[in-house]
Amino acid sequence: MADKIKIAQYWGAGCGGCDVALLDIDAKILDVHALAEVVFWPIGFDGKLADIEAMPDKSITVSFYNGAIRNSENEHVAKMLREKSVVMIAFGSCACFGGTPGLANVTNKEEVFQTVYKDTASTDNPDFITPQTHLKVPEGEVDLPEFYDSVKTLDEVVDVDYFMPGCPPTVNLIALAVDAVAKHVTEGADLPPKGTVIASDKTLCDECDRERVETGRRIEKIYQSYEIKADPKKCLLDQGIICIGPATRAGCGSMCPKANMPCRGCMGPTKAVMDHGGSMLSALSSLLNITDSESKLSEEQIIELMMQVKDPLGTFYAFTLPKSLLRRTVTEKRKRKG
């Protein structure tokens, strides 16, 4: 048997869904098995960091890193795998953009600890004991990773070769990546250019089958998706349900709109866009009904109209807050009077 290539899969701040997604590729998993030996995969089998550390640099062909960078351990393993790997892939929305854990960037370490170790109803911790990064006990010294104030994306801490967005990346996209690696290994084909996002370059609307109003589009009222029963054929946005499709990269096969649910933006923005949320904010504002009487509306009425969008930050940046232009929330030093 010819030498197999080595691959690794690691999870940072993620839910494990990406690890499962890799198994979701059906018979293609046999291709992976024929081609590669998995040397490190914490969710799959026991493996020790020391074993990876002992490997020569660039001895792993591909590392799939899923999950965001939330603590010092995530960062340490990311840096180590980067050294040991020829190709580093940011696998899934959390590694690419911060994902759902990235929404923690509206708060900070202190507040997270306060909630988790004190305020939650089921917590009994009167002395407010929180995890220490270093502790001496009679049996010896123990270390825990340091929890960061902000969630980071993988490419903030290491050089990333390819990005595979999605929550989790869909089977067809994983198959694309596996095929590209297989062709490279067996036939010597070129890998895609560095920085490639393994998905489509168009927006989700482009591959969505729903019928949309082509001229005179307008949204009369914004609904939360639970508030109305959506017509399964018509564009969700036209029905007043906020669908992030116009600002989101295609490639997922529009799975959510097909299941009558709006896109929440897990594939992130397209190449030309710097800020996923800003792009959606722009699209949505323009779609709201503009009539001749708009000139007579007061500024207050406009604010009321736009207040229909509940929680714009959480809606527009559901998966991309750490990758947005502002990255996290800030605190004004002073309050304005009056």
Partner 1 sequence: MSSTAPNAGGQTKAEEEDFEPKIIVFCCNWCSYAGADLAGVSRLQMPPYFRVIRVMCSARVDPEFVLRAFQKGADGVLVAGCHPADCHYIGGNYRTRRRIALLRILLQQFGFDPGRLKLAWISAGEGEKFQKTIIEFTDVVNELGPSPIGSSD
The site for partner 1 (CB under 8 A) is made up of: 106, 108, 149-150, 273-275, 277-279, 281-282, 284-286, 288, 290, 294-295, 299, 302-303, 305-307, 309, 311-313, 316, 324-337
Q: Are the CB atoms for 321 and 103 separated by under 8 Å?
A: yes
Q: At its nearest, how many Å lie between partner 1 and the CB of residue 266?
A: 20
Q: At its nearest, how many Å lie between partner 1 and the CB of residue 22?
A: 33
The smaller minimum CB distance to partner 1, of residues 1 and 272, is found at: 272
The amino acid at residue 194 is K
How do 140-143 and 147-152 pair as beta strands? Answer: unpaired
The smaller minimum CB distance to partner 1, of residues 246 and 277, is found at: 277
Q: Cα-flanking dihedrals φ and ψ of residue 108, to 5°? A: -150, 180
3-state SS, residue 292? helix
Q: At its nearest, how many Å lie between partner 1 and the CB of residue 149?
A: 6
The smaller minimum CB distance to partner 1, of residues 41 and 113, is found at: 113
Distance of alpha carbon 184 from alpha carbon 54, whole angstroms: 26
Q: Cα-flanking dihedrals φ and ψ of residue 80, to 5°? A: -65, -45
The smaller minimum CB distance to partner 1, of residues 3 and 332, is found at: 332
Q: At its nearest, how many Å lie between partner 1 and the CB of residue 316?
A: 7
Give the Cβ contact number of residue 184 at 10 Å. 18
Distance of alpha carbon 164 from alpha carbon 92, whole angstroms: 6
Q: At its nearest, how many Å lie between partner 1 and the CB of residue 237?
A: 15
3-state SS, residue 21? helix
Q: What are the E-state strand segments in the chain?
A: 5-11, 36-40, 60-66, 69-71, 85-91, 134-137, 140-143, 147-152, 162-164
Distance of alpha carbon 269 from alpha carbon 202, whole angstroms: 10
The smaller minimum CB distance to partner 1, of residues 129 and 330, is found at: 330
Q: At its nearest, how many Å lie between partner 1 and the CB of residue 74?
A: 18
Q: At its nearest, how many Å lie between partner 1 and the CB of residue 112?
A: 14
